[in-house]
Copies of this chain bind each other. A is one copy, B any other.
Amino acid sequence: MKARVTVTLKSGILDPQGKAIEGALKSLGVEGVASVRQGKVFDIELAGTDKAKAEAVLKQAADKLLANTVIENYRVEVTG
């Protein structure tokens, strides 16, 4: 099974990278970008075919490692 975990910074947490990218885009003449926040995606191959079980595994992976829940939120989706 294929799945994707998306990890994003909680709102309110400062994102120096996003800030820098906003600046860079402006200086590159890319117009109309109001704000940028950077996050991570993990494309994961899973053994087995049980969707519910897969989601459980992914949640576990995210809680235990993929996300730092102090500053990050995550979303899990089994894409098939």
Set of chain B residues within 8 Å of A44, measured between Cβ atoms: 33-37
Question: How far does the Cβ of A1 sit from chain B's closest Cβ, in whole Å?
Answer: 9
Contact A39 B36 (CB under 8 A): no
Is residue A38 within 8 Å, beta carbon to beta carbon, of the partner chain? yes
Tell which of B8, B32, B41 touches A38, judged by Cβ atoms closer than 8 Å.
Answer: B41
Tell which of B6, B21, B25, B47 touches A32, judged by Cβ atoms closer than 8 Å.
Answer: B47
Set of chain B residues within 8 Å of A18, measured between Cβ atoms: 42
Question: Which residues on A are within 8 Å of B, measured CB to CB?
Answer: 6, 8, 18, 21, 24-25, 28, 30-48, 53-54, 57, 60-61, 64-66
12 new A-B pairs (CB below 8 Å) besides A21-B65, A39-B41? A28-B65, A30-B60, A31-B57, A32-B57, A33-B61, A34-B46, A35-B44, A36-B43, A36-B45, A37-B43, A38-B42, A39-B40
